[in-house]
């Protein structure tokens, strides 16, 4: 990684989402006991398993942090060696070279990121970018010009490297089955992002299937079916099954550190090259799939992606 980016700002936090701590720790290092006392024992556990050589990106550092809660900001700064706790988000604009918005409540993404995007500061926005058409229209030029990157880190999941490099290892895929916890919009995007961008056919439609949990049937143009189940509060891992003519596999995805580190690497590379690391069309297609699923659950039946215009 070159020497372009030096000072990075981190923006968070929302309930249940520890990404400000994860991302900052991977870049800056961390104080184990302070990660625990901030309430993120689960993050500390996977950080503690990594070698010191896996932390840091040269001269790139998280130097400024802002959350809407001064106590959380202080905890984050102490735990991840961030020197500047910011109380007014506007004050960050003149101090940083790039910003990570580590919140997964899409409703706030536009208002938080506009401070920086409109001052030509590159931004990474945690998944999902947005499921509102007018907001996606706003974000599209920034995606196109490499000023904005947004994804689920599961796009870079180590456990799926063989599928990502060659989906045809399975032969013709007949069925892909994916399951994970919590909700369609917040956690279904993990599963969609891990699968759809690498599949050789485009998604055609989404149909909600009423069940004890949220279940969605995604049809591709080549007639392959992807079933996505988000299982609410059940304690389940992210699980993806591929059923093909040549072979099949079952994969549990749980190496958060690797996928987060890879995501950060690609964001920093996009800043260096001034080019998108992720195809803007891919990001927008995934948001359309989320939107189609939401509309289908609301009673619209099978919703075709070409009905959604951004």
Which residue would you say has higher pLDDT here, 212 or 193? 193
Question: Mean of the pLDDT values across residues 174-178?
Answer: 97
pLDDT tens readout for residues 252-304: 999 999 999 999 999 999 999 999 999 999 999 999 999 999 999 999 999 99
Q: How far apart are the first and last CA of the chain?
A: 34
How many Å apart are CA 62 and CA 148, to the nearest integer? Answer: 18
CATH no. of 158-255+288-307: 3.30.360.10
Pairing of the two strands 173-180 and 98-101: unpaired
Give yes or no for a contact between 160 and 194, defined as CB atoms under 8 angstroms apart.
Answer: yes
Respond yes or no on whether the N-terminal peptide bond of residue 61 is cis (omega within 30° of 0): no
| pLDDT class of 3 with cuts at 50, 70, 90 | low
Determine phi and psi for 265, rounding to 5 degrees. -60, -45
Helix (H, G, I), strand (E, B) or coil at 205: strand
Element (H, E) at 11: strand 7-11
Instruction: Give backbone dihedrals phi and psi of 91, rounded to 5 degrees, phi first.
Output: -70, -15
Reported pTM: 0.96
Domain 7-126, architecture per CATH: 3-Layer(aba) Sandwich (3.40)
Q: Is 225:216 a contact under the CB 8 Å cutoff?
A: no
Domain boundaries, the chain: 7-126, 158-255+288-307
The answer to whether 86 and 116 have CB atoms below 8 angstroms apart is no
Query: Alpha-carbon distance 266 to 214, whole Å?
Result: 32
């Amino acid at each position: 990684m070159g020497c372009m980016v030096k000072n990075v700002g981190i923006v968070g936090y929302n309930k249940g989402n520890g990404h400000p701590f994860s991302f900052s720790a991977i870049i800056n290092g961390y104080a184990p006991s302070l990660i625990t006392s901030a309430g993120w024992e689960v993050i500390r556990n996977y950080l503690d398993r990594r070698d010191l050589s896996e932390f840091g990106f040269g001269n790139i550092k998280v130097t400024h942090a802002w959350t809407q809660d001064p106590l959380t900001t202080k905890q984050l700064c102490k735990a991840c060696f961030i020197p500047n706790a910011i109380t007014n988000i506007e004050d960050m604009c003149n101090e940083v070279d790039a910003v990570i918005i580590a919140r997964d409540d899409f409703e706030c993404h536009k208002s938080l990121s506009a401070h920086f995007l409109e001052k030509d500061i590159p931004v990474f926005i945690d998944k999902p970018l947005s499921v509102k058409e007018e907001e996606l229209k706003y974000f599209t030029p920034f995606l196109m010009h490499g000023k904005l990157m947004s994804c689920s880190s599961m796009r870079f999941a180590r456990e799926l490297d063989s599928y990502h490099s060659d989906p045809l290892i399975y032969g013709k895929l007949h069925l892909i089955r994916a399951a994970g916890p919590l909700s369609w919009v917040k956690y279904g995007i993990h599963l969609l992002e891990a699968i759809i961008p690498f599949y050789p056919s485009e998604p055609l439609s989404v149909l909600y299937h009423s069940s004890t949990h949220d279940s969605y049937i995604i049809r591709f143009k080549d007639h392959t079916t992807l079933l996505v189940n988000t299982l609410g509060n059940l304690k389940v891992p992210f699980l993806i099954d591929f059923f093909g003519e040549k072979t099949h596999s079952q994969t549990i995805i749980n190496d958060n550190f690797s996928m987060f580190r890879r995501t950060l690497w690609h964001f920093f590379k996009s800043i260096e090259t001034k080019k998108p690391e992720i195809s803007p069309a891919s990001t927008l297609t995934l948001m359309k799939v989320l939107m189609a699923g939401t509309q289908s659950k609301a009673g619209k039946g099978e919703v075709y992606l070409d009905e959604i215009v951004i």
